[in-house]
Copies of this chain bind each other. A is one copy, B any other.
């Protein structure tokens, strides 16, 4: 294969890669996840306070944290699910380094009995809460 053909192929591959990235950006590039946790019953009230403070601070001060919607099961209040929506993966990575997240993570480490993180695709990406 001639060198000029190799250059042409590399150029086509580069255009393709850039257009894929643009397509991703046009989709909004949001990162959406479900976190499913089980909390130690004896420490549930303390856990709820840690989580509430962390959520309220994150949504208030981090533009890239679009929501952290946490719900506790009525029949099983130690079981919770959090719908997490970040503007993009960079926002998520920045979130992990914030003092309020680290305070929550370290403060609740021995309260969390199990944690499952499930990557998800929203059916209607622009959906809001009225």
Contacts and interface: CB of A to CB of B under 8 A. Distances in A.
A72 interface: yes
A55 interface: yes
A124 interface: yes
A34 B69 CA distance: 12
Given A71-B83, A74-B119, A118-B73, A124 B56 contact: yes
Contacts of A56: 124
Interface residues on chain A, size class: 35 or more
A107 interface: no
* Identical chains bound together, number: 2
Interface centre among A52, A63, A118, by most chain B C-beta atoms within 10 angstroms, is A118
A124 B74 CA distance: 15
A67 interface: yes
B59 A83 contact: no
Interface string A109-128: 00000000011111110011
A72 B129 contact: no
A51 interface: yes
B71 A32 contact: yes
Interface in A55-91: 55-56, 59, 63, 65-75, 77, 80-81, 83, 85
